[in-house]
Amino acid sequence: MPSIVFLCGMPGCGKTSTAKKVSKQLQWKCIDLDNYISEITSKSPSKWIVEHGEEAFRKVESETLQHLVFNENTIVSVGGGTPCFYNNLDWMQRLGTCIYINLPVKALWNRVAAKGFETRPLLGNEQEALQKLTDLFEIRKPFYEQITWKESGLSLDVKLLAKKIKASFY
């Protein structure tokens, strides 16, 4: 049975870059759920949300997640809201191990602002984004807090995380 790790957390916490680096360290497969959705539907998550609304995107996201086939050890970077809809968190916790990459809102804001808001329609424009990010964090926090394995995104050591993951499975 393959080992599966789901990296969870707010937009900007480093899920995607961490997944790539940890999977390389472990020589595991890496899946970025948002990129995978873009590949199979020809629409980015932001385009889904702008064109059809968040609810439509969350349905596609959940269906895509729960239809993934894991034939090998895999690190999966999920979208920030993935654990919060359609019992995805329960599903991920039954299938594998979830890790919450925690980052304070101000640090999230700095990272998101540095990359721009074009790909983050849930945050609106720059004037609204900090408040929307704060509100989103508060809404999602109860879901993230259900994840027992937490890592600080401020001082995340990818090599150490890879060792911890390996130790937890072997």
pLDDT tens column, 36-87: 999 999 999 999 999 999 999 999 999 999 999 999 999 999 999 999 999 9
Tell me, what's the pLDDT at 125? 74
Correct CATH for 4-164 of 3.90.920.10, 3.40.50.300, 3.40.50.700, 3.10.20.30? 3.40.50.300
pLDDT tens column, 79-133: 999 999 999 999 999 999 999 999 999 999 889 888 876 777 777 777 788 899 9
What value does the mean pLDDT of the chain take? 94
Tell me, what's the pLDDT at 67? 96
Tell me, what's the pLDDT at 34? 95
Per-residue three-class SS string for the chain: CCCEEEEECCCCCCHHHHHHHHHHHHCCEEEEHHHHHHHHHCCCHHHHHHHHCHHHHHHHHHHHHHCCCCCCCEEEECCCCHHHCCCHHHHHHHHCEEEEEECCHHHHHHHHHHHCCCCCHHHCCHHHHHHHHHHHHHHHHHHHCCCCEEEECCCCCHHHHHHHHHHHHC
